[in-house]
Amino acid sequence: MPHDTLLLIGRDTSRATPYETHARRLRERGVATDVRVLTYDHEPRRELRDELVAIDADRVFALPMTVAHDHTTVTDVPAALEEVDAETHYCEPVGRSPLLTEALRDRAAAAVPEAADSSVALVAFGSSGKPYQRQVTEYHAERLRERSAFGEVEPCYLLQNPAVECVRYNLTHDHAVAVPLFLAPTDATETQIPAKLDLDRGGLAYTDTLGDHPLVTEAVATAVETARTMADTRTPQTFEATLAATNRPMATDGEGD
C-alpha cells in the first residue's frame, strides 16, 4: 500500500476557513495516509515551497479548495507542486460535484420553505472573460430547479451579468434567499455580496457559504478516489502529464472560491 498524502490547497482569506474540518474528517475516513491543509496568499510557489519540499510520500494528491479553477490554480499551484519529490496527481475542484447541489439545497431550505412560493438566488463570483464559473453555477441552478420544490432558482454574479445587485428585483416569490456558491468565507461573501444585495432593506435572507457542510467533505473524498483510480489504472507519468490528464478544461474558471 503506497503512502499517499492528500493536500487541500486553498487561499488564506484571513478568516476562519473550513479546510481543517474537512481534513479531519478525511483523516478519520482514511482517505489518505496523511491529509494536510496548505494555504497561500498571492504566490503559491514561493509561499508553499518549504512545506512541499518537506513532503515524504510515495504519491501526492493535491486538490484546490475552490469551486472552479482560477488563473492561480491553473498555473501557479501546478508550478508549486513541481517542488514535490513524489508522484503527484492534481485533482478536479469539487464545484461540479452533484453533492454540492444538495449542500446548496440544504443551505437554502434552512432559510426559506422549500416550496413553490420561495425563490433562491445562487450567487457566484463569476469572471469578466471566462465562461467556466458560469457553467458551474448554471449547472447547480438547473439541478436545483429539477430536484427541489423551490419556485424559482436564479444565478447571479459579482463580475458578470446577471449582476448580484439586480437579483432581488428578478425574484418574484414571497420568500427569497441568496446562497453564495463559495467553499469558504471571503471578503466577497462577507462584505461585497451583502452590500450589493442591500440586505439591510429586508425581504431577502442570506446564508453561509458551503463551508464545513459534510457533503463538501464527501465531494472531496469522491474527487480523490477518482484521481486515485486513474492513477492506479495507468502507467506512471510526469506531473505535467498527470495534470493534463486529470484537469478537465470545462472546470477551469475565473475568480472565486
CATH of the domain at 72: 3.40.50.1400
pLDDT in tens, 160-192: 999 999 999 999 999 999 999 999 999 999 999
- 233 found inside a domain: no
Residue with cell 447541489: 101
Phi-psi bin for 198: left (phi > 0), alpha (psi -120 to 50), beta? Answer: left
Measured in residues, the chain has a length of: 257
What strands lie across the sheet with 118-124, from one edge to the other? 152-157, 118-124, 175-180, 205-206
**Domain span at residue 183?**
96-204
Helix H or strand E segment including 206:
strand 205-206
Calculate the average pLDDT of the chain: 90
Q: Are 87 and 59 in contact (CB under 8 A)?
A: yes
Query: Span 123-129, mean pLDDT?
Result: 86
Q: 127 and 179: one domain? A: yes
Q: Please check whether residues 77 and 115 belong to one and the same domain.
A: no
CA distance 24 to 113: 32
Nearest CA to 181 among 71, 69, 74, 66?
A: 66
**How many domains is the chain partitioned into structurally?**
2
Once rounded to an integer, what is the mean pLDDT over residues 217-232? 94
Dist CA 97 CA 232 (whole Å): 22
Note whether residue 238 is domain-resident. Answer: no
Cell output for 54: 518537506
With residue 124 as reference, give the H or E element that holds it. strand 118-124
DSSP 110: T
**Shared domain check, 58 and 28:** yes
Distance in angstroms (rounded) separating the CA atoms of residues 60 and 177: 39
Following DSSP, what letter does each residue of 222-245 receive, concatenated? HHHHHHHHHHHTS----HHHHHHH
pLDDT at 243: 46
Is 80 exceeded by the pLDDT of residue 246?
Answer: no
Q: Which residues contact 37 (CB under 8 A, 6 or more apart)?
A: 7, 8, 10, 19, 20, 23
119 pLDDT higher than 80? yes
* Residue 1 confidence (pLDDT): 65
Same structural domain, 101 and 199: yes
Asked whether residue 248 is assigned to any structural domain, the reply reads: no
Alpha helices by DSSP H, listed for the chain, are 19-29, 44-53, 71, 77-81, 98-109, 132-147, 187, 193-197, 214-232, 239-246
149 and 132, same structural domain? yes
Is 65 a domain residue?
yes
Residue 55 in this model has a pLDDT that exceeds 50: yes
pLDDT at 49: 97
188 and 106 co-located in one domain: yes
Using pLDDT thresholds of 50, 70 and 90, give the confidence band for residue 128. confident
Spatial distance between the Cα atoms of 114 and 24, rounded to a whole number of angstroms: 32
The Cα–Cα gap between 214 and 137 comes to 20
Q: Report yes or no on 243 lying in a domain.
A: no
Instruction: Tell me if 25 is assigned to some domain.
Output: yes
Rg of the chain, C-alpha, whole Å: 19
Q: Is residue 249 part of a domain?
A: no
Is residue 256 domain-resident? no
Quick one: average pLDDT of 120-144?
91
Peptide bond into 194 cis (omega under 30): no
